[in-house]
Every structure is written in structure tokens, then in C-alpha cells.
Homo-oligomer: A and B are copies of this chain.
Amino acid sequence: MMSHPGATASDRHKVVIIGSGFGGLTAAKHLKRADVDIKMIARTTHHLFQPLLYQVATGIISEGEIAPATRVILRNQKNAQVLLGDVTRIDLKTKTVRSELLGHTYVTPYDSLVIAAGAGQSYFGNDHFAEFAPGMKSIDDALELRGRILGAFEQAERSSDPARREKLLTFVVVGAGPTGVEMAGQIAELADHTLKGTFRHIDSTKARVILLDAAPAVLPPMGEKLGKKAQARLEKMGVDIQLNAMVTDVDRNGITVKDPDGTLRRIESACKVWSAGVSASPLGRDLANQSGVELDRAGRVKVLPDLSIPGNPNVFVVGDMAAVEGVPGMAQGAIQGGKYAAKAIVAGLKGADPSQREPFSYFDKGSMATVSKFSAVAKIGPLEFGGFIAWLAWLFLHLIYLVGFKTKIVTMLSWTVTFLGRNRGQLTITEQQAYARTRIEELEEIAASVQDTEKAAS
């Protein structure tokens, strides 16, 4: 492993970073002054600020505000190159990473590797649910859901069939974690405020929002007190919270739920959101096969205390892909992991012995979730609080973490308009979303026989 100041690109220590999320971007930034050659290979061209994804899905902010171009962020970090590509294989023996982009395959060698490929939605073995209940993990997901949520109201306005209208105006959010709570709250606010008075045939405020979870509590990691607080607030907003309710099936027209007593019941709903579980990037399996490292049930890599994997002290797994006792799958876990990996790489360049590394330790900065405008819950160390103060803290912190000065201002404006008024600036859906959603053609054929007349509908 050669490295010395003033080395040329070709003999510099090669760092490959997989992923441009919190973990990957933080690792890259903390290598800014290191004499390394960084290649960040990511499946998207943007750095996604996932905690605000629900606001893109519900029309409050634009995708650009939470997904700035990674290469623009790293423009001035000359030792870093950003490469678009889907990493399909990591080869620990040849120390290379294989990625693909539109039919081209690229093989990139590394000396050090930071794997921060994140996690996708888990359907617990029922991947066919995904088509009917998209997850909330990417910009694609958020825009798809925006189209489905607003599209359901549009279809309901045109329908003369009360049962179909009810199905269209029933929104089910599966999973009462932070994302589920935020989605349920925002769909309710969209229906009750933003869309209120914009329809003539339906009353958007009559829409039903159901938040389901197989667990017995809302926001379980926040503890009972805050969970109950969030639950009470959501219920006051009209959200129907159904706990201990296990989803057994999801199809185009609704979901089937098993209650604790074993009875199955059906909820007719056109628009479903899945935020019930995560499944780490399949790259973890690659590592397990080659290094013998274990994976947990969610597919996360059970890394060593220094976030590396057995026999590969320069291969780090950080963020949602790593299973580390006491580290939650949140931005802070990824940020701190990315920073730790970068520092370990820099220490290695200076000759430090990997076996002497201090183990990674997570500093819990707390967690929070918004429930509705003016209301959030927050847990910071032993401190637990909810309501307006928590919401202000949430507002402040999220603004601080958004990348770019202009983005902060635009987002603040978007929030002002939405929270003080009721309007939302990003309710746009594409024609593709309105007419040609996944397998919608099939639906069209099924429905083609149904004839509605405007007369009957008005």
C-alpha cells in the first residue's frame, strides 16, 4: 500500500465509496485533505436527505430541495470523483468493485472500501406487495406516491360509485415508525386543508387515513410516553390508528389484516404506503459469501467493532447496511460511521496498525419525528418532549442539515406557506403518473366495461 504526498493519481491510495447517502458523503468529506484518490460510485446522481422524503411525497417541497446533485456538492473536493452506477459485485480477493450503467460494466480497483449502500424497503418475503404499496426510500418512491395519493382524489371526484369512491378515499399507511407517522399525518393534512374546497363532487376532508402496525405501539423506539403522545395527536387529526394489526395480503384494491384474535379482515383502499421494514442492500450477501461475516435478519452486515469485516481491515460497512449494537438506522448512525471509516483510512495511511483501532462508538444525538404542523416528538438523551417546542427543534435541525443556502431559504418558504397557510407548492404529477402507472393498463382492461356518466356523478 503506497502513499506519499504528491503522489500521482495512479499510485495514490485508492478509496472506493459505494453510495452517496449520509454514510458515503460523510466519508468522502472527511477524506478531503487526505492524499487519496476517491471514487464514489452511487446508484443515484443525488445525495438524498431521506428524513424529508415524505414532504416530497405529499407536495410540500420539490425533489431538488432534498436531493442535490452529489457531484455539485463535491465539486471543490478535487480528490473525489463521483460515478453513476449500480454496484453489482464486490470482489474482496481482487479488491475490485463491479458496477453497471446502461449496459456497460465497469471494474474499479480499491485499496480501501467504504460500503454505504443503505437499505431498501422490506416486505418480509412478500415482494409482490411492492407494486401495490410502494415504499418510501427514494425520490422515485416519493414521486410515485405523490402521483398515487393525488391521483386517488382525482379519480374519486369523477366516480359515481360510492363503494369505489370510498376505496379511493381510503389511504392506508403500513408501519407506525417515523416515516409512517409523518406520511399519515401529512396525507391527513393534505386532505383536510390543502385540498379542502377544491373538489365539487367529493369532500376531501372525508378521506380516511389508516395507520397500521403489527406492533402494539406507535413509534416504538421513542418509548411509550412519546409514542402515546404522537398517537393522541394523530387521532385528534382523524387518523385511524390500528395497532397489533398484521398485514397478511396486499393487492390492487386493498389489504387484508389479521387482528390479535386471529380474525382476518379486509380494508378496501386504492392507495397504500409501505413503511414497515427495511432490508439492507443485497451487497451484504456478497460480503458474507466471501468473508464469512454474518448478516442479521434484515440483511445487515454484523461488522467488527471497527466497522470492518473479518480479514479485510480496509473494508468498512457503514450506515443502514451495518448491524451495530445500539446504533439505530438513522442519519446520525451513518454520518458517524462514515466519519469513523474516513479517520481509520487516514490513520492507515500514516502507518497505524488496524488491529489497534479504537472501536466505533455511537454518540446518540437523539431522535425526533413530526406528527403534524406545530407538533413533533423528540427524545434527546434522558429528555423526552413533544408538542410545539419539539416541532421548533425539528424545524431548526432539519433546516440546518439541508445542503445549500438557497435550499434552506426555499424550504423555509415552502414550510411557511404550508404550515401557516394551507397551500403546497409541489402538487404537480406527470401524465405518466396520471395515466400509465405500474400495470395500470391491466387495470384499464378490467375496468373498461364499467361505464360512468358525468350526469350520474354530479
Contact = CB atoms under 8 A, between A and B. Distances in A.
Contact of A404 (B45, B425, B431, B455): B425
Interface in A105-155: 105-109, 138-140, 143, 150, 154-155
Nearest to A440: B102
Nearest to A74: B198
A65 interface: yes
Given A107-B454, A109-B455, A431-B138, A83 B158 contact: yes
Interface string A444-458: 111110111111011
**Most B CB atoms within 10 A — which of A67, A140, A454?**
A454
A7 interface: no
B451 A105 contact: yes
Interface residues of A, number: 87
A261 B440 CA distance: 50
Interface in A200-239: 200-201
Contact of A159 (B71, B104, B430): B104
A454 B158 contact: no
A413 B406 contact: yes
A102 B64 contact: no
Contacts of A201: 81
A447 to B, nearest CB: 3
A9 B454 CA distance: 13
B103 A430 contact: no
Contacts of A455: 107, 109
B39 A454 contact: yes
| Chain B CB within 10 A, most for which of A407, A416, A429, A445 | A429
A79 to B, nearest CB: 9
20 contacts: A43-B431, A44-B431, A45-B434, A59-B64, A62-B426, A72-B194, A72-B427, A74-B198, A82-B198, A83-B157, A101-B154, A102-B155, A104-B447, A106-B453, A107-B455, A404-B425, A406-B413, A406-B425, A410-B413, A410-B425
